[in-house]
């Protein structure tokens, strides 16, 4: 097996760096209940990696209420969900970085490889600040830099560009079905953390299982 050059490693935020994916779920569940729609964790898999407005549209479709609200009412609902979500962020501290992530970041840095972020969240900076992780990233692609949310490749391509990285020589790490699709559509090597991610090139069940040596091995095999 040959060692292939790695230009960059690009992380998703919600559900990979920290468990804000669960906060998004709780906040959407509360909003959905207020309009008589019930959603569960399985349905929530479809919301991961999707922008705020696209998530609301999926929830309204799920409750067959997609034609019941004006755009102003939808904006207001999305804002209400965000207020619920931001309340949860008050609890976030550096202790909430998920297992395995700090060690992984350290190992990648030891190899001198740039690290990027690809998150469609408008709250990405607030979350990174709460975790004290702003400095860890060489480049952050967030909602302000893109027009299409995952599964479109735009966000991972933007992160690669910001890091001067060739996508085919870069690795993306994701917990969402839409996120893995976005990585694959960009031409990168996809690490998927969680179930339903069989389209990933390398799949694990939790961040605690992320090991830099094993990821490199899988990347090298993919390239051979």
Question: Which residues carry out catalysis?
Answer: 12, 14
Contact 130, 121 (CB under 8 A): no
* Closest approach of ligand BG6 to the CB of residue 150, in Å: 8
φ/ψ of 56, rounded to 5, equals: -60, -45
Residue 52, interface with ligand BG6 (CB under 6 A)? Answer: yes
User: Segment contacting ligand BG6 (CB under 6 A): 94-102, 114-122, 160-168, 192-200?
Assistant: 114-122
Residue 15, interface with Mg ion (CB under 5 A)? Answer: yes
Residue 142, interface with ligand BG6 (CB under 6 A)? Answer: no
Residue 181, interface with Mg ion (CB under 5 A)? Answer: no
Residue 201, interface with ligand BG6 (CB under 6 A)? Answer: no
Residue 175, interface with Mg ion (CB under 5 A)? Answer: yes
The DSSP output letter for 165 is -
**Structure tokens belonging to residue 4:** 């292939």
**Which single residue is written with the structure tokens 């990648």?**
108
Q: Report the SS3 class of residue 203.
A: strand
Candidate list 66, 82, 196, 211; residue touching ligand BG6; CB under 6 A: 82
User: Segment contacting ligand BG6 (CB under 6 A): 34-42, 90-98, 118-126, 206-214?
Assistant: 118-126
Rg, the chain, Cα only: 17
> What's CA 121's distance to the chain center, in Å?
8
* Distances, alpha carbon 138 to alpha carbons 100, 132, 188, in Å: 19, 14, 18
Residue 49, interface with ligand BG6 (CB under 6 A)? Answer: yes
Contact 174, 45 (CB under 8 A): no
52 binds, among ligand BG6, Mg ion, none (CB under 5 to 8 A by kind): ligand BG6
Q: Residues in the site for ligand BG6, rule: CB under 6 A?
A: 13-14, 21, 24, 47-52, 55, 82, 119-123, 143, 176
């Amino acid at each position: 097996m040959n060692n292939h050059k790695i230009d960059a490693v690009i992380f998703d935020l919600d559900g990979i760096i920290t468990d804000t994916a669960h906060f998004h779920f709780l906040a959407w569940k509360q909003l959905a209940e207020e309009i008589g729609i019930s959603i569960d964790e399985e349905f929530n898999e479809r919301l991961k990696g999707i922008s705020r407005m696209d998530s609301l549209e999926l929830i309204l479709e799920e409750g067959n209420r997609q034609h019941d609200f004006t755009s102003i009412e939808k904006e207001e609902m999305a804002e209400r969900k965000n207020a619920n979500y931001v309340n949860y962020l008050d609890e976030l501290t550096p202790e909430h970085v998920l297992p395995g992530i700090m060690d992984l970041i350290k190992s990648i840095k030891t190899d001198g490889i740039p690290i990027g972020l690809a998150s469609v969240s408008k709250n990405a900076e607030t979350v990174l600040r709460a975790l004290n992780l702003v400095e860890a990233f060489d480049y952050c692609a967030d909602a302000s830099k893109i027009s299409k949310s995952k599964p479109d490749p735009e966000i991972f391509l933007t992160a690669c560009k910001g890091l001067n990285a060739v996508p085919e020589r870069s690795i993306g790490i994701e917990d969402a079905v839409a996120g893995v699709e976005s990585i694959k559509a960009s031409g990168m090597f996809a690490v998927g953390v969680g179930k339903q991610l069989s389209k990933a090139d390398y799949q694990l069940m939790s961040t605690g299982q992320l090991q830099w040596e094993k990821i490199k091995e899988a990347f090298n095999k993919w390239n051979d």
